[in-house]
Amino acid sequence: MRIVVMDESRERSTRLVELFKKGRHEVECLRLSNEFINRMMAKSPPDRVFVEADTWKHGKSIYNYFGIGRKLESIPVTVYNIPEIFAGIADRPKHNADALIPRTATLEQVAETIA
């Protein structure tokens, strides 16, 4: 499975990538909004996207401008480290395999959502 991890925190994203690679997944780690936009505009979309909530919030307006929510319609998205109130991703209907993981969850629990 091709997975994209979008997280500004090097420590958190590195650990999550290690967990996914143990499951023999192909993982791409992105830390900047520009990298994420370029990846989502590519012709071959990933099979799954993992986004850290604060990282999404920081780039939310530019993602809306480029219509990234619509690009993610057919891709399951897991948003982790979410606060108690989280609005979701604009311009994107909920996918059956989507997941919202609260701040209290460990990275191991986040990685288990692809099982």
Taking 70 as the threshold, does the pLDDT of residue 7 lie above it?
Answer: yes
Residue 49 confidence (pLDDT): 96
- DSSP H helices in 23-52: 33-41
Domain residue spans of the chain = 2-114
Rounded Cα distance between 57 and 55, Å, is 5
Q: What is the dihedral of CA 47, 114, 82, 8, to 10 degrees?
A: -60
Indicate the pTM of the whole model: 0.92
Taking 70 as the threshold, does the pLDDT of residue 63 lie above it?
Answer: yes
Give the CATH H-level superfamily of domain 2-114: Response regulator (3.40.50.2300)
pLDDT digits (tens, 9 = 90+) for 12-38: 999 999 999 998 999 999 999 999 999
Q: How many CA atoms lie within 13 A of 65 on its CB side?
A: 7
Strand intervals (E) in 43-98: 48-52, 77-82
Taking 80 as the threshold, does the pLDDT of residue 115 lie above it?
Answer: no
Contacts of 95 (CB under 8 A, 6+ apart): 73, 74, 75, 76, 77
pLDDT digits (tens, 9 = 90+) for 72-113: 999 999 999 999 888 788 888 888 999 999 999 999 999 998
